[in-house]
Chains A and B, each alone.
Chain A
Amino acid sequence: MQAQNDMTFNISIPVLEISDYAILVPMIGMLDSSRTQKLMEEILMTIKRNSVKVVIIDILGIVTIDSAVAAHLIKVTKATKLMGADAIISGISPVIAQTIVNLGVILEGVVTTGNLKDAIKLADKKMGMSLVEIVKQS
């Protein structure tokens, strides 16, 4: 049972290295205290191991958000900041944004983007990098 739970967790919240300095955490399903704690530990250990500078948490796959989930996310961003890395929460859909505002959750100091593309751009910008289109010369 424990092994199955661990497997479900690993499948549902992978920590993906998307560059030398950034990791992406796509979140799917429900988020509870136990999962958040494990996620936080995993993110912090990856930051330490790989000297990660930016953590992108994509919440597009989160089914529902309530004040508890928002509090969990804020804790993860705080912990990330304490480690010396920046956190970006991406994939905030209009429905989720509306819910967060209606709940009165203050996401002060938390960097958010509407989609993953913007989050990756922002991560690059934070590191002083940018993607440049290669113009083919005829």
Chain B
Amino acid sequence: MNSSIFKLDGICVVTISEDEFYDDDIGMNLLQSFKEYRSNKVVIDISFLKFLQSADITRMDYLSKLFGLNNIKSIFCGLNERSICTVVHFIDNFSFKTAISVDAAIDDLKN
């Protein structure tokens, strides 16, 4: 995997790379990594996304549901505020959790 992954306080932090985010097998690969790290709480940093599109929201929703099926709590962080202003007009619903930063996501998962 090109994405960086490390474990902090029992929580896996993944800084996902752009090419892997759009890879069809990313969910499966990440699940495998989480299994190896023996973690059921993960933070996904997607700060590489400078221009957020509605397809990206759908992708995050899909990954969140996939992790949820494996009893893994996930929080996405690093969303660009300017992109959100635009993309919010084109999305109906989303079920994933978000945080302003990796630190905030870790705090949220700890509590």
Contact = CB atoms under 8 A, between A and B. Distances in A.
Contacts of B84: 44, 79, 82-83
Given A51-B104, A83-B100, A45 B81 contact: yes
Chain A interface mostly helix, strand, loop or mixed? helix
A11 B88 CA distance: 25
B81 A81 contact: no
Of B75, B79, B85, B101, most A-chain CB atoms within 10 Å:
B85
A85 interface: yes
Nearest to B57: A82
A41 B80 CA distance: 11
Contacts of B104: 51, 53, 84
Of B89, B91, B101, B105, most A-chain CB atoms within 10 Å:
B89
A79 B88 contact: yes
B59 to A, nearest CB: 14
Q: Shortest 6 CB-CB distances between A and B: which pairs?
A: A44-B81, A84-B99, A84-B98, A79-B88, A84-B100, A82-B84
Interface of A: 37, 40-41, 44-45, 47-48, 51-53, 75, 78-79, 81-85
